[in-house]
Amino acid sequence: MAADTATQSTSQMVLPMNVVTRSDVGRLVREAEAVDNFLRQVGVRQPGTSLQLPKTSRLYDEMVAINKLNMLQEQDRLTLHQLLQAIRTDAPVLHMSFSTDPSPLFLQKLMTWLRQNIHPLVLLQVGLLPNIGAGCVVRTNNKYFDFSLHQRFIDTRPMLISKLHGAAVVDPTGGVAVPAETAV
């Protein structure tokens, strides 16, 4: 329901693929506030007062550029701020754990797929589980999906056991005999 609300209110908003986590959104919110404060201060400043331009990140610039916003317009700034707040509080978050730290390129590809197939504003929280071997573990609000190699081995354990029982025929002398069809 919250995701629906966020979708309705931000139907026109596009998140850059580099915005991955809720922390990224929070950082964008702070930057938007800084820019808005700066521009407000500029409007009421006295002549001769020194101004210090707020530093914006590449992510913020990309966000503004993708959504074709004019930060000199107060309405656009307000819209951006509200929408970012809404995304931070209401956007769906997927928890994905990997065996190693994912690279930014990997995350970008993953976010592209997620936003095209799952939700356009979905965010990701990345975790680390070194013992899963490979693959990932996905956790949503109510469900848990284990796409790891460890779970794969568990799922295919009956097949592995049957293969082991078929392949290793214990002979009376205590050794392991190779079945006839596999022997060269």
Partner 1 sequence: MNTWGVIVILAGLAAATGAFVYLALKLNGSGPKGKKQTSGNTYIDAAEQDVEHIFNDEFREELRNRGRLHFEKIIGENAMFLQQDLRLTTSQLNEYLKSEITRKLQEEFVKYEESITDAKELAIESLTKTQQAIEQQRKMMGQQLAQEIANEKTRVVKRFEDNMADIINHYVLAAVGNQIDLNDQLEYILSELEENKKDIVEDITHGS
Q: Which residues bind partner 1 (CB under 8 A)?
A: 1, 3-4, 92, 94, 98-100, 102-103, 105-106, 109-110, 113-114, 117-119, 122, 131-136, 138, 140-143, 145, 147, 149-151, 153-154, 157, 160-161
Least Å from the CB of residue 156 to partner 1: 9
Least Å from the CB of residue 5 to partner 1: 11
Nearer to partner 1 (CB atom), residue 47 or residue 158 = 158
Residue 97 near residue 137 (C-beta atoms within 8 A): yes
Least Å from the CB of residue 32 to partner 1: 25
Least Å from the CB of residue 131 to partner 1: 7
b/e for 33-71, b at 16 or more Cβ within 10 A?
Answer: eebbeeeeeeeeeeeeeeeeebebeebbebbbeebebeb
Nearer to partner 1 (CB atom), residue 78 or residue 104 = 104
Taking the C-alpha atoms of residue 173 and residue 139, their distance in angstroms, rounded to an integer, is 51
Nearer to partner 1 (CB atom), residue 83 or residue 99 = 99
Nearer to partner 1 (CB atom), residue 47 or residue 174 = 174
Taking the C-alpha atoms of residue 79 and residue 75, their distance in angstroms, rounded to an integer, is 6
Place of tokens 């965010």: 123
Taking the C-alpha atoms of residue 106 and residue 43, their distance in angstroms, rounded to an integer, is 43
Nearer to partner 1 (CB atom), residue 7 or residue 79 = 7
Least Å from the CB of residue 115 to partner 1: 12
The secondary structure of residue 20, as a DSSP letter, is -
Least Å from the CB of residue 78 to partner 1: 28
Beta pairing class for 169-170 and 144-146: unpaired
Residue 15 near residue 87 (C-beta atoms within 8 A): yes
Nearer to partner 1 (CB atom), residue 105 or residue 183 = 105
